Each structure stands twice: as structure tokens, then as C-alpha cells.
Homo-oligomer: A and B are copies of this chain.
């Protein structure tokens, strides 16, 4: 009448080794057990039964899960993959694993996921959350870190990149090359990073007396490819893309139109994804330390895990990487 499928528990091991469950626990956790005979019996029984202690039971007993919940708008977006890698590595160093979920850029899904993940984790990292601030405010139950997102005056930790400064550099770079009319291929409407970049673009352009035309694109190459003609029609001499992927789509469209880069039109991206430097021409872009953002997110979460209420904000520098996709404006000086 042996249960064939049931996983062996500590009781089974104890019975097989003819010791108490306490002893099994002690042996398996390296606590002091003097009698070598008992140690041997326990190890042998555990081995033979292929016993694995239940992580759930351990978590319940310990009161912590050693799990970090992560909500991402799009798992397939390279920027988030990099962030995830940094986060996984940093948290892993402290024995914490990642419970990852994809919100597919949808606010309702994001809300649902947050509520579902929170009770199963020690803390949450929300990557570029699309949720409005007031919703975020209601979440202040457990340890929480937001990345690349303004958290207003809320007592929420945040880690991110200084998109504003990065974009300012881009505009200055283009202005110095004589461009007077810039086109912007905008990102997802709910993205705070996009709002931030657009704000920097507007401010810097105003200060330098540049014209700006904005076309709604998105976050993929298809989006950039589709939206670029609108900018061309407006007569821009330089195209600033929300990110590298969008820039790549724009670049393809420019080629289709028989336009050369940077001869006819200059082009910039944002992110400096690995392929950016291998494009033709190599893409002028802004390097974002996404992996480091992930690491910092963990550092901030850890602070809260150690002492609840300790929140902070980290803003990492983004710097312009000038390559060959930008050049002097056609009619410029």
C-alpha cells in the first residue's frame, strides 16, 4: 500500500533512519549531531528516498520567502532583460530568487499581478510601472522599489536612469551640428521614461531655439518604421528616437526613401543596446546602465528588508555615445 507518487517528507526520512524528525533536520542543516552512526543513517535514508525539504514549509517556518517579485511591462524588451539580469545577479548573491511576471504594458494586468505577487514575496520591484501614482500609493504595504519611474512625494524607493540629462545631451549634440528642426519618435504613451525624455527635449530645444515635431511611435522597430514618414513630411533634419529599437526601424525607413544617414538626416537612439554599435552607420545613442539599475533596485530593497521604512532614491547617469549616425545639418553651417 505504498503511496507511489507522494513526495517523501521529513517524517518518512525520520522513520527510515529510526530517529526523530528533529535529528533529520539537524543533520541536513549541518547542526551539531555527535553520533556519527545517526548522521550516517539519516544521510543514507535521505539519499535513498530522494528526499528534498519542502521550500514552502521552510518559508512558512522562517517567515520569509527569499523571493523578490518583479513586474515587467514586456519581458522581450532588451532594456528590461538587462535590468532583470542585474537584479537576478545581485539578489542571487543574497540567496534571493526572482518571481517574474509580464504585465504586457497593461495597467489592469499590472495591478492584478502586484496583488498576486506581493503576498508570496519578501518584496516587490516594479519596472517602469504604468500605474498612476495614486494606485502606487495604496501599495505601500510591503517593501517596494520602482525603477525608471517618478514616485512623487511617496515613501517608495526608486532606482533609475537620468533620462532627462541624457536627452539634454542629445539635443545639445544635434544643435552643435547645426540642426534647427528636430523630430521625435515618441515611446509608449504610458511610459514615464518617455514623458521624461520628451520633457528634456522640449526644454532643451526651447533654450536653444530649436523646432520640434513629435510623432507617436512606440517601443519597437515596427513602430519607428511606421512613424518616421510623418517626421520627414514635417521637414526635420534630425530624428531623435525614444529608444534604439525605434531608431533601427526609422533607419530602415530612411534607407527605403533613399536618404542617407547622417548625410541627409541625422538619427539618434536611446539605450545603447548591444547591436547599436554594429549598425550601418553605428548609432549615436545614450548609454543606459540598465543592469546597474537592477543592482541598485536590489540594494534599495535590501535596505527595506533590513529595516522597514528606509527608502531612498538612486538616479544613475546616462551619457551620450556619439557615433556615426549624426552629422552636420544639410543646410547648416
Which residues of chain A have a CB within 8 Å of any CB of chain B? 5, 50, 52-57, 59-60, 65, 67, 74-78, 81-82, 84-85, 88-89, 92, 97-102, 116-121, 141, 220-222, 225, 245, 248-249, 251-252, 255, 274-275, 277-280, 282, 308
The answer to whether A245 and B141 touch across the interface, beta carbons within 8 angstroms, is no
Q: How many copies does the complex hold?
A: 2
Most chain B CB atoms below 10 A, which of A55, A60, A251, A277: A55
Residues in B neighbouring A88, C-beta threshold 8 A = 75, 100-102
Residues in B neighbouring A222, C-beta threshold 8 A = 274
9 interchain residue pairs of minimum CB distance: A55-B120, A252-B278, A75-B85, A55-B119, A52-B119, A56-B59, A76-B81, A56-B60, A100-B100
The answer to whether A99 and B98 touch across the interface, beta carbons within 8 angstroms, is yes
- Give the distance to chain B from A137, nearest Cβ to Cβ, in Å: 13
In the complex, what distance in Å separates the CA atom of A244 from the CA atom of B225?
20
A244 to B, closest residue via Cβ: B275
The answer to whether B56 and A99 touch across the interface, beta carbons within 8 angstroms, is no
Q: Knowing A101-B97, A141-B50 touch, does A280 contact B308 (C-beta < 8 A)?
A: no
Q: Looking at the complex, which one of B99, B116, B252 makes contact with A280 (CB distance below 8 Å)?
A: B252
The answer to whether B117 and A97 touch across the interface, beta carbons within 8 angstroms, is yes
